[in-house]
Structure 1
């Protein structure tokens, strides 16, 4: 059963374009990871300043394996754009 992991990043409005540029520069960095099924960066349009980083994985184990191996900081050495984050996890429901 696939899982979806959403990282909710609190990003000041003035820093949104910088966040988008950083993700664009690394958009294929997870592609070869076992069990990785997809990625989207969701931009806020009304009522919230959080960006959502949406990833889908074949299994929870695939996500945990990737998470254990990843480098949590921007390789460019730049300061973080987000001022806070929440991690949300969901199972994809098979509706038959």
Structure 2
């Protein structure tokens, strides 16, 4: 069963293009991680002003292994702030 992790990001209006450029620059940086199945950056359009970073993982252990080896950003370089993490299991529906 796959897992979906959604990181909720607050991004000041003037930093949105910078956030998108940074994600574009590292779009495939997680592709080779064990258990990683995909990612999408969701831009707010209506009814929400936060970005969502949706990632899909084969299992919790794969996500945790990737998360635990990430290098923290240098102070003062962030263009967003995390507003939390949403977590879901993908329901395999029978045919």
CA–CA distance in structure 2, aligned partners of residues 70 and 48 of structure 1: 28
Runs of 4+ in 1 over 6 A off after TM superposition: none
Tell me the SS of whatever aligns to 1:68. Answer: helix
Q: Which runs of 5+ in 1 are unaligned?
A: none
How many pairs were matched up?
A: 94
Residue aligning to 1:93: 91
CA positional deviation for 1:71: 1.5
SS in 1 for 2:17: helix
Give the conservation status (yes or no) of the 8 Å contact 1:35–1:59. yes
TM-score, normalization by structure 1: 0.90
**What is the TM-score with the length of structure 2 in the denominator?**
0.91
- Which residues of structure 2 form unaligned runs of 5+? none
How large is the Cα RMSD of the aligned pairs? Answer: 1.5
